Amino acid sequence: MLERRSLRAPVTLGVVLIVLVVILGAIWAISSFIGSERSGLFWTLFILGSLLLLSILAGVIVYLTLTIKAVRLNQRQSNFIDSVTHELKSPIASLKLYLQTMSRHSVDESQQRDFHRIMLDDVERLDALINHLLDAARIDRGNEPEDDEVFRLDQLLAECGEAACMRYRLPVETVQVDCPPVTIRSQSVQLEILFRNLIDNAIKYGGSPPEVIASIRPVEGKEDHVVVSITDNGAGIPYDKRRKIFGRFVRLGNELERSTPGTGLGLYLVRTVSKAVGASVRIRGRREIDGVAGTVFEVTMKQAVLGEPTE
């Protein structure tokens, strides 16, 4: 579906440009046949031909713009394929190595436990990658929206933080959830995808060791709006790249030179899900707030109030 949408615009524009060129050629032929600059029809055709020429030039510019976008999308897709290939091959190669070692050599019980732990990590890495791709595919298909439900937003953030720490084998204090009780009416599954990806992103691109803070504050003047902030201690995101990184398959830099795992779909899912649930996402540099290196993702959400849910 994505490829059909991306091809429809340039193909349609190309057909329109061809038709305009044919019409312009016919107008010039008629003007040459008339041959008299005093004729009112001549000037009418001349003005019409000039307008068509300007339209063609504008169409060529738009066509070139669409072509450049298509080339960039192709580059991002190439990066995506490189990334997914690496993310699939690495754990599979590791699993194969440890299984061959256990089958061909005698391994004591302590080594077996270590091997099982490493293999479990590899399986969880594959599972996370597959879930990531399935989330993107499901959202792109535009499945039927879920019904809203009432739940605790602060508890959802805490669960996402704990799951991320377990997934990356980090201490639980790596993700600090500093939130008052907040009740929200929204789609819990979608918000779980949104905040799971934001917290994962903060851990992967945070400092060494990573430090992530999840907080909630009310919006002044709007009783049913809150802002959820996910703050990391990484290098930060350049201002001119902050809109770009929400694109599909976008990862900054060359895929083959990058050490941080990823597919370029995480922040794309964040943007898509936020639109689906009526939220908005903003990126701020942490230096703008407290003078420390890092990035702050702020998600403004509606239908949220401080306190426990009431019957």
Q: Is 183 helix (H, G, I), strand (E, B) or coil?
A: strand
pLDDT of residue 254: 47
**Total count of domains within the chain:** 3
Read off the CATH number of the domain in which 269 is found. 3.30.565.10
Query: Could you tell me if 170 and 287 lie in one domain?
Result: yes
Q: Are residues 156 and 256 in the same domain?
A: yes
Q: Is residue 80 part of a domain?
A: no
Strands 212-219 and 175-178: parallel
* pLDDT higher at 199 or 106: 199
Q: What is the pLDDT of residues 247-290, one digit of tens each?
A: 777 776 544 445 566 667 788 888 888 988 899 999 999 988 88
> Where are the strands (E) in the chain, listed by range?
149-152, 175-178, 182-186, 212-219, 222-231, 280-285, 295-302, 304-306
Residue 216 DSSP SS3: strand
Tell me how far apart the alpha carbons of residues 311 and 104 are, in angstroms, rounded to a whole number: 62
- The helix/strand/coil state of 212 is strand
Single pTM value for the model: 0.65
Question: Does a structural domain hold residue 115?
Answer: yes
Which residues partner with 139 through β-bridges? none
Q: What is the mean pLDDT of residues 95-111?
A: 82
At which of 49, 74, 99 does a domain end?
74
Domain match, 238 and 129 both? no
Q: What is the DSSP string of 71-139?
A: HHHHHHHHHHHHHHHHHHHHHHHHHHHHHHHHHHS---HHHHHHHHHHHHHHHHHHHHHHHHHHHHHHH
Q: Could you tell me the CATH number of the domain that includes residue 125? A: 1.10.287
Query: Same domain for 154 and 135?
Result: no
Whether residue 287 is found in the same domain as residue 250: yes
Q: Per-residue pLDDT tens for 13-55?
A: 777 777 777 777 777 776 666 665 556 666 676 677 777 777 7
pLDDT digits 0-9 by tens, 214-248:
999 999 888 889 999 999 999 888 888 888 888 77
Q: Do 304 and 277 touch, CB atoms closer than 8 A?
A: no
Domain residue limits at 60: 2-74
Task: Out of 1-5, 163-167, 201-205, give the one with best mean pLDDT.
Answer: 201-205
Question: What DSSP character marks residue 235?
Answer: S
Q: Are 156 and 297 part of one and the same domain?
A: yes
If one counts every other C-beta atom within 10 angstroms of the C-beta of residue 81, the result is: 13
Angle at 29 between CA 23 and CA 30, to 5 degrees: 90
| Domain membership flag for residue 158 | yes
